[in-house]
Amino acid sequence: MFQRAVQNLSQPFQADAVNLLMAHTHLEGAVFGESERRVHIGEDWAATAQTLPTSATYIALGHIHKPQKVNGTLPAYYAGSPIQMDFGEVGQAKTFVVVTAKPGKPAQIEHIKYDGGIPLVDLRVTLEELDRLAGQHRAGCWLRVTVPLVENDPDLNRKVRDLLPNALIVKPELPPTEKQATIPLAEGASPSEHYSTYHLLEYDREPDSEAIEAFEQLYATVSGAEV
């Protein structure tokens, strides 16, 4: 289907013209970032470079967030996303492509770095270090902050965001523990008891009353049951 569409689009190409093709798709061999939706970029969905026209002056591709050239001699490029889409793209430089094209001549390609975007930054610090280093990271970026802890601190989010209001994600890093595989439940246990058991297994602590109340309201909404 993609090959047929490309053939139809490139049929009017002429040797004395600048022939451009744009396609929001990905090809085999593309280098993914970590922010693309994997269900949309599996190799089963990928087209091949052989489907692209060799008569094109320039081929602009989308869908892949990492700027890159398609393997081979075709003038085919992914410009990439204009900003870092999530923390899977930390440190990734974003560029746009300036194409200088003339009929019958190879296109000249220049990658220009974007200015003005706010970078995403990973920061791993203890609370003691954070108190000392916060001033260096309080502006000019969005943060994912990982805090090593000896034990869980339910007030961690507030402590970090009081010092770093630009922290989008706050993650505790706890020592590895051997989690209990299951917790037996009495026959006929309520949905709330099932949720509490899940929460205990997942987070090593019982859910608070507000979480239980929110769960019960959500369960009642989707099941039509009385709270």
46-98 tens-digit pLDDT:
788 888 999 999 999 988 888 899 988 899 999 888 888 888 888 888 888 99
Confidence at residue 39, expressed as pLDDT on a 0 to 100 scale: 42
3-state helix, strand, coil in the chain (%, to 5): 30, 20, 50
156: Cβ–Cβ under 8 A, 6 or more apart, which residues?
A: 147, 149, 170, 172
What is the percentage of the chain residues whose pLDDT exceeds 90? 46
User: Where is average pLDDT lowest: 9-13, 31-35, 58-62, 94-98?
Assistant: 31-35
Beta strands 76-78 and 68-69 are antiparallel
Residue whose token pair is 């209001």: 165
pLDDT one-digit tens code per residue, 148-195: 999 889 899 999 999 999 999 999 998 886 666 678 888 889 999 999
pLDDT digits (tens, 9 = 90+) for 104-123: 899 999 999 988 889 999 99
Q: What are phi and psi of 77, to 5 degrees?
A: -135, 145
φ, ψ for residue 108, nearest 5 deg: -95, 125
- CATH number of the domain located at residue range(s) 2-113 in this protein: 3.60.21.10
Structure tokens at 111: 């990658």
Asked whether the whole model's pTM tops 0.75, one would answer no
- Whole-number pLDDT of residue 19: 94
State the pLDDT confidence band at 225, using cuts at 50, 70 and 90: low
Statement: residue 7 has pLDDT above 80:
yes
In this prediction, residue 45 has a pLDDT band, given cuts at 50, 70 and 90, of low
Count of residues in the chain? 227
**25: confidence class by pLDDT, cuts 50, 70, 90:** confident
Residue 33's pLDDT is: 66
- Which pLDDT belongs to residue 152? 87
Q: What is the pLDDT of residue 85?
A: 86
Domain boundaries, the chain: 2-113, 118-176, 183-227
- The DSSP symbol for 175 reads P
CA–CA separation, 109 vs 114, rounded Å? 16
Can you give the pLDDT at residue 59?
94
Q: Does residue 35 have a pLDDT over 80?
A: no
- Average of per-residue pLDDT values in the chain: 87
Residue 126 binned pLDDT confidence (cut-offs 50, 70, 90):
very high
Q: Where are the beta strands (DSSP E) in 58-200?
A: 58-61, 68-69, 76-78, 95-100, 108-113, 120-124, 142-148, 167-173
Question: Cα separation of 170 and 144, whole Å?
Answer: 6
Q: What is the pLDDT of residue 205?
A: 82
- Distance, CA of 220 to CA of 82 (rounded, Å): 42
What confidence tier does 136 reach under pLDDT thresholds 50, 70, 90?
Answer: very high
- Specify whether the backbone of 91 is left (phi greater than 0), alpha (psi in -120 to 50) or beta: left
Q: How far apart are the first and last CA of the chain?
A: 51
